[in-house]
Amino acid sequence: MNRLLYLFFLLFYQFCCAQNAADPFLLESERILSPIDSIGHPALVGRSNSGKVWRPHFTYVDSINIDHITYLSDGLRIKGYLVQPKKKGNYPCVIFNRGGVKEFGALGLVQAIGLLGEIARHGYVVIASQYRGNGGSEGREEYGGADLNDVLRLI
């Protein structure tokens, strides 16, 4: 059984690596060029004489890229985030599965910086889905039904 499972994962890995980098399911990717200008959350941003500054724990934001993404899942336009280190390199990927139902738990820029960015700053690419019916995504949430495909499509 272990050998069969290993073979499955090996074939799955090779399939994923063989995919064209220009993924036909990724519809849009928009870089958030200046996150500090897009956010005013007092836990993340403070003020100085020169304007907004990151609070000491969030200065790492300058070392990561944050992208809003839109991708196809079962023919629906699904929103999400892609957060990664700015430094070029090969990084392991973490698929972040948010909790909550409907808009409770949906990801915003504050969560992208505070949760996903915290993981990315340690050398990971982090990708997260809003799930269908949430955060601007098309469709209807099914609480673990077909919306599971929204996570699987991230691979």
Q: What is the mean pLDDT of each run of 10 residues along the chain (155 residues)?
A: 50 45 73 71 71 76 90 92 94 87 77 89 94 87 83 85
Helix (H, G, I), strand (E, B) or coil at 26: strand
pLDDT for res 41: 65
Neighbours of 107 (CB within 10 A): 21
Is 138 within 8 Å of 129 (Cβ atoms)? Answer: no
pLDDT for res 29: 85
Is 62 within 8 Å of 55 (Cβ atoms)? Answer: no
In order of 23, 62, 64, 67, 118, the CA distances from 33 in angstroms are: 23, 10, 10, 9, 18
pLDDT for res 57: 75
Within 1-155, residue ranges assigned H as helices are 2-18, 35-38, 109-111, 117-120, 148-152
Integer Cα distance of 118 and 85 in angstroms = 10
pLDDT for res 52: 75
pLDDT for res 11: 44
Assessment of whether the complete model's pTM goes beyond 0.85: no
pLDDT for res 154: 84
pLDDT for res 75: 92
